[in-house]
Amino acid sequence: MNQSKKLTDGALLVAIYMVILLLALLIPFIFPVFVFLLPVPFIIYAAKYDWKPALIMFLAVTILSVLIASILFLPTSFVMGIGGIMIGAAIKRKLTAYETWARGTVGFVFGLVIAFLIMLVVFDINITEQYSTVVQDSMQMSQGLLEQFGAPEDVEEQLVIMEEQFLMLPNLLPVGFVISGLLMALVSQWLSYKLLNRIEQRKLRFPKFHELRFPVSIIWIYFLALIVSLFITDKDSTMFMGIQNILMLAGFFMTIQGFSLLYYYFYVKNKSKAVPIIITIFALVFAPLLLPLMRILGIIDIGFGLRDRLSKNGSN
């Protein structure tokens, strides 16, 4: 009976995955939404039956994706399958929400790396080279238009600087994988919590965002990488690329910590929850101006325990 139910549940969730995938094919402009939905069937199945049966489901999904959709969706199956199974297996073992998120992030990053290698080896598609080609072609076209209309030299110099900055983005591909993995794991895990709570009457939830605290070691890693970067002159070296990735990733975590502190402040002061949400929206809209400020807040919070002082003042 249990084996029969396991097969029935697996077949149902495989069918749900294929429906979501086909909808993504038919409505490509909302594919980013489906990216967060596709891992959910794997999460639910692994959360109920653990990772070994989920691997069989993953195999079935991979074969059907190639047969029904396209072989180009092979990388997608690896990303969604590995990330989803990691989250589901963590839920099965009753790990905390943040431990589950960490495992899911590792799974999605691993899946993204495999997908990148499949694109490179199987399909002979080098994403970084294609990106560089598009940037160079676009900049040459823009430069030609500027010369045609007699633009000042300083505008052309700024265009060259912009081209150099855009061409540096592929060097940040590792940190891009990590941040993508973090976001995919977070959203898909949250959706799965909602579904599992409704279907199986569980009580899965994330701790309040204002309770989030990263370890102090992140600051030391950030400042150490910052100091090392001052002594690296070769921007094409592997060391430079590695340091830039570390700075971007550590900076991302400290920015998140800054937002957490913002929400904690309004929580301690018993003020409206709408205010920090509005500030968050403004910070994302005016990112170049406001996100560095949130990063500074995060550094102060992690390094000097600012929220501990806020809690003392709030209790007085």
Distance CA 69, CA 72 (A): 8
- Asked whether residue 208 carries a pLDDT value surpassing 90, the answer given is no
Please give the residue that has the higher pLDDT: either 84 or 151: 84
The model's pLDDT over 218-255, given as tens digits with 9 standing for 90+, comes to 888 889 988 988 888 777 777 887 888 888 888 888 99
Please give the residue that has the higher pLDDT: either 132 or 182: 182
Sign of the four-CA dihedral 195, 198, 203, 209: positive
**Predicted pLDDT of residue 80:** 95
Name the phi and psi angles at 214, rounded to 5.
-90, 155
| Percent of the chain residues past pLDDT 70, beyond the cut | 89
Which pair of tokens denotes residue 253?
Answer: 């975590």
Average pLDDT over the chain, rounded to whole? 85
**Predicted pLDDT of residue 189:** 96
The model's pLDDT over 73-110, given as tens digits with 9 standing for 90+, comes to 888 999 999 999 999 999 999 998 988 998 999 999 99
**Predicted pLDDT of residue 87:** 96
- Asked whether residue 178 carries a pLDDT value surpassing 60, the answer given is yes
The model's confidence at residue 294, banded by pLDDT at 50, 70 and 90, is very high
pTM of the model: 0.80
- Asked whether residue 111 carries a pLDDT value surpassing 90, the answer given is yes
The model's pLDDT over 24-52, given as tens digits with 9 standing for 90+, comes to 888 877 778 888 999 999 999 999 999 99
The model's confidence at residue 147, banded by pLDDT at 50, 70 and 90, is low
User: Hey, where are the domains in the chain?
Assistant: 1-137+171-207, 214-316
Of 191, 198, 132, 140, nearest to 165 (Cα)? 132
**Predicted pLDDT of residue 151:** 54
Of 283, 302, 282, nearest to 292 (Cα)? 283
| Percent of the chain residues past pLDDT 90, beyond the cut | 37
> Which of 22-36, 123-137, 302-316 has the highest mean predicted lDDT (pLDDT)?
22-36
For 94: left if phi > 0, alpha if psi spans -120 to 50, otherwise beta; the answer is left
